[in-house]
Amino acid sequence: MWEDELFDEIQKGDRVWYENPQGQTCKAKALMIGPMGWVCDRGAGQPVVVNEGDNYLGHTPAKNRQPDHLGHFLNNHKD
């Protein structure tokens, strides 16, 4: 399962645990940060958006994790 981590500490490649609309606990791989939260891959290319106030439960850091510099740049410099 996940460790007690902060949402702000998620990086690309991490395993993110979230709750789906049916209340089930699911996991996905973090791909990039977007304006509504982290875009994650549930498997077979199926995306899911995980955000802190709605469905985020925790995450497990990956060995090959990388910060998402492009995602943070695009979402912090809107006009």
pLDDT digit string, tens, across residues 1-31: 777 679 999 999 999 999 999 999 999 999 9
Spatial contact of 63 and 7, defined as CB atoms under 8 Å apart: no
- In terms of pTM, does the model score above 0.75? yes
- Listed by start position, the domains of the chain span 7-76
CB-count exposure of residue 31 (10 Å: 0-12, 13-18, 19+): middle
SS3 63: coil
The rounded Cα 20 to chain-centroid distance in angstroms is 13
Contact (CB, 8 A) for 16 and 4: no
